[in-house]
Chains A and B, each alone.
Chain A
Amino acid sequence: MDLQSTKAVEEERVAILLKLGEMLEYMKEPEDEVIKEELRDIRTRQVVRETARKLDESKIYVNIEAIRRSVDVTLKETWNRYHLASQDPEEKRAERFEQVVRSSLGDQIRFVNLNAPSTRRSALFQRMVRELGEQFTTNKEFGLNANLSTNIRHGYVLRELRSPLVSLRLVTNKDSDSGSYLENPHWNRVLASLSPPQKIDVQKALADFSEKIDSHIDDLNRRKLRVKSEKSVEGLFIYNLSDASIDQLYRRFSKIDDYDEFASKVFSVFWSATETGLDRVRKHLLNVVLTDLHLAVDELENDLLSIGQYYQLNAITSLLPNAKIDLRHAIERVSSWFALSRDHEYQDYDLQTAFDVGLRTVESYYSDIEIDASFSSNEVHQMKGSTLPFFARLFDLLLDNAGKHGAERNSKLSVSAETTWDEEMLMLTVSNTLKEKHDMVKLEAKIDQINSDYGKEAAKDLVGEEGGSGYPKIWKILRRDLVLQHDLRVFLMDDRFHVEILVARGAKI
């Protein structure tokens, strides 16, 4: 009863193993490899778990530094004109007039100058705030939407919410050719006492369930986890850049005469709006999405019980209470991602740790595939801790691709990663087996397209979108987040799919 968590159990185990090691040393016995290996396994599990938790807490961020680097030159020019305009007598008169009227009538009135905008200065202010707002939310590489796409929407939400149902074998995937959901042969075997027509009805009920689940998740990804705009009207991240709201900011910030201070204040307004958006998302997940998913499970239960006798369907209906519990935990986990990124410090690490973190995520998402994974390197090389989140996400993407394209459901996948270091370069190769039934012509065409598009302008537009292979996001992580010169190519060899990344070493790695 003294042990209150699985972590406490692990620590107790470590203490026992260390004690056993000490005893052997005292008895002048040789070191026991079994003890050493178990200690190593426990420590690796702890590091991987802790790293994964920190990564979950740092999914939401906007790279303000990079945005400032890209816009400051032009914005400073606008700022200078804005600053000069404060000396203009006409401007001063107009602002003084506004101050006097407001002091009598309050802040509820709005000035509209028929020679719009009201003053040149306020127009310049508007332009700068709008530009910073656009960059904050929709900068293709550094903005909120791009990071939402890379860190959350691209597969993570889908797989996190689906994974409890995948492991219970309650959902299948869509067949890309026919568009209908694949059959679930497991239940045809298990529900042996059902007649053939009843089995067909069970498959239909499961297909309907899969569709409902995917539809709710799709609604979340495509409509809700977005910055609200004309195109994404249901987006839960709302940034009010109306004339009236910018007017209010102008009155608050008009006395600021330093550009850096101005930019910092404006960004703090956007961060505040982001926090409100995050709260909105968390509430939506727990109040709306979870309810919808639970309702889908209830509807599945009703559909199944209408097909046959209770005892005939017990093997599947008995899983549904667990499905609801696990869905709640999955929603809670996804909800925890929607918090402002904390500044975590990561210890220096070797790439195998990043690989293990990525593998852990992928193994949970593809629980119906037996994954045989290996990592090798010509040397153990300590990477700077600050790069860990990015390399973990890189391996996430590479291994997720392997899981998605490398094996059918309920089959085996072999995936391996190899790193080769020399003084100037790091070569990272990830390879995986292919699906038994794959269209070689299509695959080779896809490979040509990936190699041809990688890093090009058109592909960069896809950084903020989902549904593709993830290579634009890999490019973003390496080129923009880590600022690493690199080259990537994909190819087939020995019946395996290979991704080869050549990275120029520098101060970062």
Chain B
Amino acid sequence: MTEILIVEDDNDKAKQLENFAREFIPSPDVSIARSLQTGLRLALSKNWDLMLLDMTMTTFDRTLSDDGGRPHPFAGREILRRMKREGIAIPVVIVTQFDRFGEEAEELTLKQLEIELKESFIEFRGIVRYRANVDEWKSQLENAITDIVEKFAGGE
């Protein structure tokens, strides 16, 4: 089984990513986390084969009685930092709907963020820009994980 973790607080986007995983990745076993905290907990819980990670998320899962707290603009980066501290290396692709993150002094463009993450995290594969009504992201995501797909298609 290819163990895939999707960390995404948008239900519709999470569903699209899950469908992508089931279509393009051999024998996928997909888990979905819906906030920074849940994503972090699951990321540290086992050796995943691939993580599809949102960047901007709420800290906690959103429910009817909990709004999840203020959205954290760099939630995905926090998860990567913590994984690095714990010595966990999982192939990660950031899948985001935004091209700017943070505000004022902290603001980064998508390109700047990608450069920073590539320098900091060995297993970081890149950022894919997601748009719900355009399928271009699928081919970008496929390209980012070609080696993983081949590895598991070969039954390694």
Contact = CB atoms under 8 A, between A and B. Distances in A.
Interface of A: 1, 3-7, 9, 49, 53, 56, 294, 298, 301-302, 314, 318, 321-322, 324-325, 328-329, 332-333, 336
B109 to A, nearest CB: 10
A336 B64 contact: yes
B37 A4 contact: yes
Contact of A325 (B9, B38, B63, B69): B9
A298 B40 CA distance: 31
Given A5-B60, A5-B63, A49-B65, 19 more contacts: A3-B37, A4-B38, A4-B61, A6-B59, A6-B67, A9-B69, A53-B65, A294-B12, A298-B133, A318-B98, A321-B97, A321-B132, A322-B71, A324-B132, A325-B10, A325-B11, A328-B10, A329-B62, A336-B64
B37 A1 contact: yes
Interface residues of chain A: helix, strand, loop or mixed (majority)? helix
B10 to A, nearest CB: 5
Contacts of A294: 12, 132
B99 interface: yes
B132 A1 contact: no
Contacts, number: 55
B64 A298 contact: no
Interface of B: 9-13, 37-38, 40-41, 59-69, 71, 97-100, 132-133
A298 to B, nearest CB: 5
A321 B60 contact: no
Given A1-B40, A318-B99, A328 B11 contact: yes
B85 to A, nearest CB: 12
Contacts of A7: 65-66
Nearest to B44: A1
Most buried by B among A9, A314, A329, A333: A329
17 contacts: A1-B41, A5-B66, A6-B60, A6-B69, A53-B65, A56-B64, A294-B132, A298-B132, A302-B133, A314-B99, A314-B100, A318-B99, A321-B98, A324-B10, A325-B9, A325-B10, A328-B12
Contacts of B64: 53, 56, 332-333, 336
Interface residues of chain B: helix, strand, loop or mixed (majority)? loop
Contacts of B40: 1
A9 B67 CA distance: 13
Contact of A6 (B66, B97, B98): B66
B10 A321 contact: yes
6 nearest A-B pairs in the assembled complex, by CB-CB distance: A321-B97, A325-B10, A298-B133, A5-B60, A5-B66, A6-B69
A56 B65 CA distance: 10
Given A49-B65, A318-B99, A4 B60 contact: yes
B115 to A, nearest CB: 19
A314 B64 CA distance: 31
Contacts of B65: 7, 49, 53
Most buried by B among A6, A301, A322: A6
Contacts of A325: 9-11
B60 to A, nearest CB: 5
